[in-house]
Amino acid sequence: MATNDIRNVWELTRAQRELVSNSFEENMYETAIAMLDQLRASEFNPWPHHVCQLIYISLQSTTPPSMKDEFDTSVQASPSKILKQQQLQISANLIPAKAILDAQRVLMAYLHTGSPDALALALPQRRSQPVTMVDPNETESTVARRAAHIMQLQDCWELLRSDFSSRQNALPSTPKVKSKTRRQSERLGYVDASLEAGQPLAVQENAWPLLEWLVGLFEKDEKLSLLPDPISPLLLNQLLDSDGKTHLDSSIAIIAHCLQQDQLQRRRLAGRLLSLLVNLTSTADLDLNALSVALYTRVSSFSQLSQLLSQLGHSTTIQALKFKIGVCQMLIGGLGLSTTGSGPKPQPRIRPRPTKNTKNTKFHDDSTDSQVTAKPSVPSIPDILRLVQTPTFERVSEDGTLTPLWCKFQLLLAYGSLQMRMERQDRDTQWTKAVTETLPQVAREEFEQRGPEASMYQRLLENQLVLNL
């Protein structure tokens, strides 16, 4: 059905869109989501407003609060009280657990059939977005009305926060009854209790499936990139505002929160998101040093930083190797400050960005104009060797995964891999001599007769040096 003429990017017919919208308005969520699943195909992209509703539904709890104490079902209840309670039930607009799970499933399915650009039209972003969503006051559906307010957020990260549900449920279920609905929402227990404790969580419990979807969306966008160093322009839209200012706080907070989780799948999301951010540093819009310092400042646990470096271990891109070198530099410096590691951490500084002409066009259309390859400075081999030979306390992390020897091993390994990946004219001129003379001696001095762990590091480094010859 797709044609070459100029049509809306979602390409579904008006009749198809209205069929789904009517089911949503009648609170037939499972039916509406089933129709969206049936209409899903690689030739068709979903209507952004429907994706917005799927996102909103996916964020709801599958175990809604009990309301048995809120409603008086006795025969003595007055007709006015019964009517009031019925209105309260309607305004609560509880969504069945199956519909919530179906929404999460269909969103993930869209990653295989939908265009990342089209799916991202349903997300808020810091750059201006040329999509007009449904007016919240022009629909009878509570879910559609609340979903429309998603576009008023600053970025997609706000969807994940623990205070999002409370703010959404504070919105009116019908126009002109905002204060009443707010009281009803609070009485029904919708307001997140974490707000009472202070700072909201970066990822609420119900938002983990959506975070998985967002990371998958940005990964697919990066995979489709035609640039020599693939990046996700959609992710950059979430970090860069119209004035060119970079906002890393939310994404770094999400990475830190992921690392605190017990579930392996959630912890891996930290590495996947970080890998996307690191790849963005190949552009002039995001500074690699600023990202490294921001992460080092936000993630206080050395063991969590070692987890991140391990997750990036399979990545051999130049930007990933430079990032590992930068973090290892800070780790070794921090381990050498004191036995408690209480020295001040470096503060992130965003470097000045080149002036660019502003255009009122979609970011994807002119993204290549601003994505000039950035080449942050790489430490020289003498600097690396001095850092490796810096005396450090033999302190381990909380779980024993990080030691000074581990940091030095990772630093030398990343630096050697980086030199081999770089063009010959960009390599350190002293690298060849260091491989044959200096590095083997330094490896023996630092790792020889220091225990089984050090011996393993020494053997691995020696093998790597042979490959680098």
- Per residue in 117-167, pLDDT tens? 999 999 999 986 655 555 555 566 788 888 988 999 999 999 999 888 666
- Among 60-64, 185-189, 289-293, which stretch is predicted with the lowest mean pLDDT? 185-189
Model confidence over 91-114: pLDDT tens digits? Answer: 555 899 999 999 999 999 999 999
Backbone angles phi, psi at 41, to 5 degrees: -160, 160
Residue 196 has a pLDDT of: 41
Average pLDDT, the chain: 77
Q: DSSP code of 151?
A: G
Task: Judge whether residue 325 has pLDDT over 90.
Answer: yes
Instruction: Considering only CA atoms, give the Rg of the chain.
Output: 26
* Between residues 153 and 75, the one the model is more confident about: 153
Mean pLDDT of the 217-223 span: 97
Residue 381, CA distances (Å) to 270, 388, 433, 460 in order: 30, 10, 10, 19
Answer whether 55's CB lies under 8 Å from 168's CB: no
Residue that the structure tokens 């599958």 belong to = 62
Q: Look at the alpha carbons of 202, 208, 213, 218 in this order and tell me if their dihedral is positive or negative.
A: positive
Burial of 55 (0-12, 13-18, 19+ CB in 10 A): buried
Q: How far apart are CA 389 and CA 257, in angstroms?
A: 34
Task: Give strand pairing partners of 41.
Answer: 44
* Between residues 465 and 364, the one the model is more confident about: 465
Mean pLDDT of the 249-274 span: 96
Residue 467 has a pLDDT of: 62
Mean pLDDT of the 268-294 span: 94
Residue 63, CA distances (Å) to 97, 126, 142 in order: 7, 33, 19
Answer whether 17's CB lies under 8 Å from 35's CB: no
> What's the whole-model pTM score?
0.79
Percent of the chain past pLDDT 70, that is, above it, reads: 68
Residue 270 confidence class, pLDDT cut points 50, 70, 90: very high
Model confidence over 357-398: pLDDT tens digits? Answer: 433 333 344 444 444 444 456 888 889 989 888 877 665 555
Nearest one of 93, 105, 95, 96 to 34, comparing CA atoms: 105
